[in-house]
Structure 1
Amino acid sequence: MAVRLGLGLPQYGRFADPDALVTVAREAEARGFTSLWVGDRLLTPLEPRDRYPGGDGTIPHAHRTFLDPFTILAAAAAVTSRIRLGTSTLNANWYPPALLARSLTTIDRLSSGRLEVGLGLGWSSDEYAAAGIPWEGRAARFDAVLDALETIWRDDPVSLTDRRWSVAPSHILPKPAQSPRPPIHLAGFSPAALARVGRRADGWLAVAMPVPVLTAMWGTIRESAERNGRDPDEVRVIVRVNPIVAGSPAADAPPGGRTVEEIAEHLGATAETGVHEMFLDLQQTARDPAHLLDLAEALRKASGL
């Protein structure tokens, strides 16, 4: 099975720029990459309550500037025609489900059914506070959001009753272009999050990690799928890769990094586990759109993907 390869869409740091967005979206499609992905950051606190879940726990400098994911995907949909468009990830709990469903439905229809919905809990209690959402009970809230999205996209009329929100019997139209709905992929690495993926998701949004750790977590997902009467082979694995290329000229790139060959070796080893898709977010290591695309091509060639 060939592993699909996508790119992170220009959205943050030096790449929070409309020209970069259009250039990379069009070129990625022309060069045969299979997908484009956006993330969801709201702010960078000066004194974070929580550690960033990567690197040394420091929030990347580039994350201080971040464009809205829904708007970015809508713009990408307008300048492409084939490439898939994904979120990795939206912090689902920040958004009332009816509004979240409307935004995602609109992007799916604008793109003629190319949306991949990736949802997660988020990691920053500072961002939850800024969004006016309680940090406590976030896992239960997440499941309720997922239930609400399924109902809104499936039913007509829609009726929802929950202690957090309610929808009187109503028409909520249109429905997504994809039937019965866009694919829903879930992020997370805790045992409860992995069990949730196996129980109800179309895919798991993973990140680059040592291969034994990846395969162990994937095994947990497969076991959960089987326990819930699902075919584990139908659960996709999509891996986000945020490489820092050694000697990167980007002014805000963290020090260190690995060579293209070293990164490509890890990509190849990850691909051999049977994952379905990987995407490269090069916004912290590339200096401009042309360099980002050149790095992506170099990594694709060196890894054989």
Structure 2
Amino acid sequence: MKLGLALPTFGPDACPEGIVRVCRTAEDMGYDSLWTGDRVLAPHVPGAPYPSADGEMPRAYENHMDPLVALTFAASHTTRVHLGTSTLNGLWLPPVMLARSLTTLDLLSRGRLIVGLGLGWMPDEYTAVSVPWKGRGARLDETLDVLREYWANDVFSHQGPLFTIPETVVGLKPRQKPAPPVLLAAFTPGGLRRIGRRLDGWLPVAMPLPHLMGMWEVIQKAAAEADRDPSALRMALRVNPRLTDSRTGPERMPAAGTLAQYVDYARAAAEAGVHELFVDFGQTPASLAERVDLAGRFIEGVRRG
């Protein structure tokens, strides 16, 4: 199983020095990937509860960087690690502009981009970018259509219910062939089936492993029904540790526990068949130096097992 680390693109450590330090940490320690997320608003009272046990949005989101710009900066300070979005809200940009940005980043990183898309959870952000909250699934499907057409053709045009793109020559092509992998964060039955039918993989968040693998089976079945190879799909599991000083009961993991418990969870995930797991220590009240230390202890513990 591959291991990844979240970049400090939220909170007080969201700065050039913080990103460079985590980039060097990741490559020196043997991490396989770096990840960043997407926010445009951080209201005191969001229009919808944050999707967590307590419903509280992390206040670190009040200081947020542009994810693709941050990954481009990270690409210039790394040579090996892959660079992923978990997640990029793919509906906030016109799809042809999204295609151009993703292609540029894949080229500049020499083929290390992992495109992780999501639909977000906060209607306020859709209002801010003048995109309707209603009809997100249909907008995502057409966005995926445009991305695939842009990457597959030297000349293309698009006429759909939401977007019209006049015929154009597309000289800019991604380094990865035929395209960078596109993963989706989804948890509803319809979203899981969409992954199986047309995406390259899934971006879940940490949950009890039997539940996780049950949802993965839904994706695999949908892929087989669509005459796609289920074994070609990949899963990249996000873990947001809430670290405690003493061990928690099994009913609280992976929502909260000690670092050792999260190491055990990662080992069990590898045995269950998870392809990649990345950890975001920015969800903890830790300094950058403490995050670096935690990253070292975590990968050492998992690899040792």
Q: 1:78 aligns with which of 76, 79, 93?
A: 76
Q: Where does 1:45-56 land on structure 2 (aligned, <5 Å)?
A: 45-56=43-54
Q: Say if 2:65 is the partner of 1:37.
A: no
TM-score (norm 1): 0.93
Matched residue type, 2:128: A
Q: Where does 1:1-305 land on structure 2 (aligned, <5 Å)?
A: 3-246=1-244, 257-285=256-284, 287-304=286-303
What CA distance in whole angstroms lies between the structure 2 residues aligned with 1:271 and 1:131? 39
What CA distance in whole angstroms lies between the structure 1 residues aligned with 2:217 and 2:42? 34
Alpha-carbon shift at residue 289 of structure 1 (Å) = 3.0
Alpha-carbon shift at residue 245 of structure 1 (Å) = 1.9
Provide, for residues 90-111 of structure 1, a one-character-per-residue CA deviation record: whole Å limited to 9, x for no partner: 1111110111011111110111
Matched residue type, 1:153: W
Identity of aligned residues (%): 46
Check conservation: 1:286, 1:295, Cα contact below 8 A: no
1:202–1:23 CA distance, 2 compared to 1 (3 A): same
Alpha-carbon shift at residue 165 of structure 1 (Å) = 2.1
Provide, for residues 114-151 of structure 1, a one-character-per-residue CA deviation record: whole Å limited to 9, x for no partner: 10111111111111111100011110100000011000
TM-score (norm 2): 0.93
1:175–1:232 CA distance, 2 compared to 1 (3 A): same
What CA distance in whole angstroms lies between the structure 2 residues aligned with 1:274 and 1:293? 27
Match of 1:253 in 2: none
Which deviates further from its counterpart, 144-153 or 285-294?
285-294
Check conservation: 1:97, 1:145, Cα contact below 8 A: yes
Check conservation: 2:2, 2:32, Cα contact below 8 A: yes
Partner secondary structure for residue 99 of structure 1: helix
What CA distance in whole angstroms lies between the structure 2 residues aligned with 1:39 and 1:101? 18
Partner secondary structure for residue 13 of structure 1: coil
Q: Is there any run of 5+ residues in structure 2 with no aligned partner, and where?
A: 246-254
Partner secondary structure for residue 116 of structure 2: strand
1:218–1:257 CA distance, 2 compared to 1 (3 A): closer
Provide, for residues 23-81 of structure 1, a one-character-per-residue CA deviation record: whole Å limited to 9, x for no partner: 11122112210000110111112222211111311111111111000110000011111
Partner secondary structure for residue 15 of structure 1: coil
What CA distance in whole angstroms lies between the structure 2 residues aligned with 1:17 and 1:52? 25
Equivalences, count: 296
Check conservation: 2:29, 2:299, Cα contact below 8 A: no
What CA distance in whole angstroms lies between the structure 2 residues aligned with 1:31 and 1:210? 27
Q: CA RMSD in A?
A: 1.6
1:64–1:55 CA distance, 2 compared to 1 (3 A): farther
Alpha-carbon shift at residue 16 of structure 1 (Å) = 1.0
Partner secondary structure for residue 119 of structure 1: strand
Matched residue type, 1:67: M
1:302–1:286 CA distance, 2 compared to 1 (3 A): farther
Alpha-carbon shift at residue 286 of structure 1 (Å) = 5.6
What CA distance in whole angstroms lies between the structure 1 residues aligned with 2:201 and 2:256? 29
Match of 2:248 in 1: none
Q: Is there any run of 5+ residues in structure 1 with no aligned partner, and where?
A: 248-255
What CA distance in whole angstroms lies between the structure 2 residues aligned with 1:52 and 1:284? 14
Alpha-carbon shift at residue 268 of structure 1 (Å) = 1.8
What CA distance in whole angstroms lies between the structure 1 residues aligned with 2:175 and 2:288? 31
